[in-house]
Structure 1
Amino acid sequence: MTTQQLGRTDLYLSPIGLGAAQFAGKGWISALTPTVPQQHVNAIVKTALDGGVTWFDTSEMYGGGTSERALAAALCEADVRPGDVTVATKWLPVGRTAGNIERTIGARLHALHPFPIDLHQIHLNRGSFSSIRAQMRAMARLVQDGKIRAVGVSNFTTRQMETAYDELDKHGIALASNEVQVNLLHRKIETDGMLETARQLGVSLLAYSAQRQGILTGKYHGDRSLIAGVHPVRRKVMGLTSAGLDRSQPLIDAMAEIATRHQATVGQIALAWLVDFYGGTVIPIAGASKPHHAKDSAGALNVHLSAEEAERLAALSDRIAGR
């Protein structure tokens, strides 16, 4: 299977990863998503592995370590050995100083045991009592001490990403990634300088909400009664409204047509588009609360769009955005 280099690091990933936010089990995330019992986490992770997914993205913020522990347990259950997969997690900066990064690394390693932290990320671009440069210096020390392999950020603006890159570069370390929202209904990276800068610096963009939390699978277009079952806060975050579905219907119709041609699903087309349209700079993260979700997402690894198909979907996406 083709792999994708993470930034300018020595890490190589499957072109699609599995996100583990839904494994939180408690906290605000669990209020917006169904609780996933450990036996289902095991099945989801095993299904993703069987489909060719080799990297997993979690965070301290997902249940205060609950997601990390659930992921590690599932990998062990699947007989995965440390080093066989790539594990990414994140440090939450809110209300903390940069010194907390080093003080809490033991807790992160313990939660993920026996798996090492291949990519450690700053989860947000705000809320810390320390500067981005101080945070990057702390991360650099963790790399130098062999406690993590690579450094990334999440939800950073283009300017903040440049600052993080510059500070790490002083220590001979390349910023590996910036985790941001990217999908056919959210292409801000093309207009705010993020994509161009990431390519110049050699930084990978890890795309969360790659299927716009299910909207880009077409399931809500096919059965609008499903909207009522979505938590109101989540509906707002998703922009899930009947009017919104009306606007994106032409895009979903085109995705369905292309999916039929590739013997794929609409959700797989959404993921394949990110891989093919951005030429490897964007590496999507797919969530899964059920094994069949993971199977479908992993199946996108075998879907490759033509340039014409990718451009057609981009043009329809532009029309929705009014560009």
Structure 2
Amino acid sequence: MKLRRLGRSDIEISAVGLGCWQFSEGFGLAGGFWEALPAETVQEIIDASLLGGINWFDTAEAYGNGRSERALAAALTRLGKKPGDVVVATKWLPILRLASNLGKTIDERLACLSPFAIDLHQIHQPFALATVAAQANAMADLVEAGKIRTVGVSNFSAKRMRAAHAALARRGIPLVSNQMPYSLLDRRIESSGVMAAAKELGITLIAYSPLAQGLLSGKFHDDPSLIRGRTGPRKYLPGFRAKGLERSRPLVDELRKIATAHGVTASQVALNWLAHFHGDTVVVIPGATKRRHAEENVGSMGFTLSQAELGRIDELSRQFR
């Protein structure tokens, strides 16, 4: 799998990473979206990802209060990986915290991920008891102390992203990424100014929920009853209801048509489009709860969509901007 630079850093990452939200062991608000996965399954998912060329993994403090971080580190260790073999990204949760909390909790993050370093540390949400500049400066302190390699943000608007970029630039440190919800069923970052700002500033956009939590696979269109048995609140989201399924059906039908032509799946076409339509600006972090899901993720970069196919998908998904 071809590698890309992470923002304006010297780190190279695969166009597809593995999102590790689902390793939360069912703990907490974030973990409640997923059933707890056995350690053996986690290891199989990570093994398949590595074998397919994925070289980076995205987790967070909020994913089970460190449980996802520990599960990731344990699986990588069992698979024989050493510090420096992979790129690890995690996130600090700023809600109801001051910027000084970044320095107070970084050792806990490092302990959860031990022996692996934090290559990318991200501010998970824009909601904090501190200014963007204060949080950026606290992150810069961690870079200068050698605790982390690079700085990113998540769920930041174009205005907040620019503010973080400017504050870090004053310390001679780049803002390398902004992790945002982005899929063919949620293209709002294209109309909100986030995409344009990222391209201007050389910031990588990390697309989370790139398959709209499974909607783009088409399985819920085929059998809407499947959603009723799913763990967590997904079943209540508008896209999973009858009206939402009908709205997205023409796009899913086209994804399947294109997938058939390439001998792949609709999900793989959706990921391929995200990772290529905007050049190297967007990378994707689909999750996986089974080994075959991870294998499907890595296979999404093994074919090339034509300009006509890219354009047709663009046309059918513009309503979701």
Q: Which residue of 2 aligns with 1:73?
A: 74
Q: Deviation digits for residues 142-169 of structure 1, max 9, x if unmatched? A: 1111111100000011100000000000
Q: Which residue of 1 aligns with 2:227?
A: 227
Query: What's the CA shift for 1:235?
Result: 2.3
RMSD: 1.2
Query: What's the CA shift for 1:218?
Result: 1.1
Where has structure 1 moved over 3 Å in runs of 4 or more?
A: none
Does residue 119 of structure 2 align to residue 154 of structure 1? no
Instruction: Point out the more displaced range, 211-220 or 299-308.
Output: 299-308
Aligned residue type for 2:173:
I
Q: Which residue of 2 aligns with 1:136?
A: 136
Query: What's the CA shift for 1:193?
Result: 0.8
Q: Which residue of 2 aligns with 1:302?
A: 302
Q: Which residue of 2 aligns with 1:96?
A: 97
Does residue 199 of structure 2 align to residue 183 of structure 1? no
Question: Residues 238 and 81 of structure 1: is their aligned pair in 2 closer, same or farther, counting only changes over 3 Å?
Answer: farther
Aligned residues of 2:9 and 2:174 also touching (Cα < 8 A): yes
Q: Where does structure 1 lack aligned partners over 5 or more consecutive residues? A: none
Q: Which residue of 1 aligns with 2:125?
A: 124
Q: Which residue of 1 aligns with 2:276?
A: 276
Question: Residues 232 and 173 of structure 1: is their aligned pair in 2 closer, same or farther, counting only changes over 3 Å?
Answer: closer
Aligned residues of 2:35 and 2:231 also touching (Cα < 8 A): no
Query: What's the CA shift for 1:80?
Result: 1.2
Query: What's the CA shift for 1:238?
Result: 6.2
Counterpart secondary structure, 1:271: helix
Q: Which residue of 2 aligns with 1:47?
A: 48
Query: What's the CA shift for 1:288?
Result: 0.6
Q: Which residue of 2 aligns with 1:112?
A: 113
Q: Which residue of 1 aligns with 2:209?
A: 209
Q: Which residue of 2 aligns with 1:21?
A: 21
Question: Residues 238 and 281 of structure 1: is their aligned pair in 2 closer, same or farther, counting only changes over 3 Å?
Answer: farther
Distance (Å, rounded) in 1 between the aligned partners of 2:237 and 2:172: 38
Counterpart secondary structure, 2:240: coil
Counterpart secondary structure, 1:178: strand
Q: Give the fraction of aligned pairs with identical amino acids, expressed as a percent.
A: 47
Q: Deviation digits for residues 217-238 of structure 1, max 9, x if unmatched? A: 1111122221221346222346
Aligned residues of 1:213 and 1:238 also touching (Cα < 8 A): no
Q: Which residue of 2 aligns with 1:165?
A: 165
Aligned residues of 1:276 and 1:304 also touching (Cα < 8 A): no
Q: Which residue of 2 aligns with 1:255?
A: 255
Aligned residues of 2:274 and 2:283 also touching (Cα < 8 A): yes
Alignment size in residue pairs: 320
Aligned residues of 2:238 and 2:244 also touching (Cα < 8 A): no
Aligned residues of 1:158 and 1:194 also touching (Cα < 8 A): yes
Counterpart secondary structure, 1:239: helix
- Give the TM-score of the pair, scaled to structure 1: 0.96
Counterpart secondary structure, 1:32: coil
Distance (Å, rounded) in 2 between the aligned partners of 1:153 and 1:65: 18
Distance (Å, rounded) in 1 between the aligned partners of 2:138 and 2:220: 44
Distance (Å, rounded) in 2 between the aligned partners of 1:232 and 1:24: 13
Aligned residue type for 2:124:
H
